[in-house]
Amino acid sequence: METPTTERKKVIFSAIQPSGTITLGNYLGALKNWISLQDEYRCIYALADLHTITVRQEPANFRRNTLEAYALLLACGIDVQKSPFFIQSQVCTHAQLAWILNCYTQFGELQRMTQFKDKAAKHADNVNAGLFTYPSLMAADILLYQTDLVPVGEDQKQHLELARNIAERFNGIYSPTFTVPDAYIPKNGARVMSLQEPARKMSKSDENANAYVAVLDKPEDILRKFKRAVTDSEACVRRAEGKDGINNLMSIYACVTGLTDEQIEKEFEGKGYGDFKTAVAEAVIEHLRPIQARFADFIKNKDYLEQCYTDGAQKALAVSARTLNKVMKKVGFLPKAF
């Protein structure tokens, strides 16, 4: 009698840059889903610090931001026993495969990347080659782990499509080498918008500090920012076209409470926007409170953090080296001497 085999879990890879503030938008739109995916999938997570230096960084701040981002993602719920979680620059295979993939990426493909155009305009004094070839490094990040699924937002779909094209091109020239990844669209993903310009996505680079909430903001700051959130003149809590501010607040409230739109509308029937803004702020504060407490504990324990990211790097290297060695052999490089 045959023993039923255990079905292989699909691999999910995702990374975030440690370039400073992690916002409520980052958390509700991506990180909260990272945590829930860990039981169903084989998840591999990274801090993409190599990507961060396409924009000049002050070294001491960069080191601090990287360590704090690592501690914060652990506090959000990444389980390092289930999911390798590493710092990209500590796993040399990423830079090695990125160079090889540069040679299988067409100049015209990179020229069409809208993020390159946007960032080049924003950082006109430093339009470096890394900013241009950034998508090849992102493709290497993904393809190294034979990734099946990549959680992506609207702004990253183009990069994932390029990674698919590169994988298919390489596989076609040689033989099947890379898994061609698909986009993973989270069931409960929230697109969190600016509190001051609710037609725009919440961003940590916003010059108006009232436009975004940081995961580590103090309760009084969170309350103040939500009270100042832009809404409309209708003073009725309901989701509707043209009510961008209220739609955004309802999405945030739904994410942190689990309530449906109908339940939210019923709860605030006959109440004004002031009551609703305060309730959203208080719900966010309570949701973030245990994360902030865990972060405070982790950031004081540097030895534990170092142990976690070292273990994560070793696990990531063991997996990614298999892919890199296969690629190098197919391209025609001599075997490594050591």
DSSP annotation string for 38-75: TTTSEEEEEE-HHHHTTS---HHHHHHHHHHHHHHHHH
The answer to whether 201 is a known catalytic residue is yes
Distances (CA, A) of 151 to 28, 68, 210, 216, 223: 13, 23, 28, 24, 30
> Is the pLDDT assigned to residue 2 strictly greater than 70?
no
- Tell me the per-residue pLDDT of 103-132, one tens digit each, with 9 for 90 and over: 999 999 998 888 787 777 777 888 888 889
**Quick one: which of 20, 70, 19, 75 has its CA closest to 45?**
70
Residue that is written with structure tokens 């979680």 in the block = 85
Selecting among 32, 82, 122, 201, the annotated active-site residue is 201
Q: What value does the mean pLDDT take over residues 168-184?
A: 97
Q: How far apart are the first and last CA of the chain?
A: 46
- Tell me the per-residue pLDDT of 244-278, one tens digit each, with 9 for 90 and over: 999 999 999 999 999 999 999 999 998 989 999 99
Residue that is written with structure tokens 């972060």 in the block = 295
Residue that is written with structure tokens 């002031």 in the block = 274
Residue that is written with structure tokens 């902030």 in the block = 292
pLDDT band at 204 (very low <50, low <70, confident <90, very high): confident
Selecting among 204, 227, 326, 330, the annotated active-site residue is 204
> What's the DSSP call for residue 316?
H
CB of 35 within 8 A of CB of 263?
A: no
- Nearest-5° Cα angle at 120, 118 to 125: 145
Element (H, E) at 86: strand 85-87
Domains defined for the chain, CATH in brackets: 11-189+301-331 (3.40.50.620), 209-295 (1.10.240.10)
For residues 118-137, one letter each, b for 16 or more C-beta atoms within 10 angstroms of the residue's C-beta and e for the rest, the string is: ebeeeeeeeeeeebbbbbbb
The per-residue pLDDT of the chain, averaged, comes to: 92
- What is the pairing mode between strands 149-151 and 42-47? unpaired
- Tell me the per-residue pLDDT of 134-144, one tens digit each, with 9 for 90 and over: 999 999 999 99
> What's the DSSP call for residue 193?
B
Three-state SS for 77? coil
Q: What value does the mean pLDDT take over residues 187-209?
A: 85
CB of 304 within 8 A of CB of 298?
A: yes
Residue 187's pLDDT is what? Answer: 67
The answer to whether 10 is a known catalytic residue is no
Selecting among 32, 119, 225, 243, the annotated active-site residue is 119
The answer to whether 122 is a known catalytic residue is no
> What's the DSSP call for residue 332?
T
Element (H, E) at 249: helix 244-257
Q: pTM of the prediction?
A: 0.91
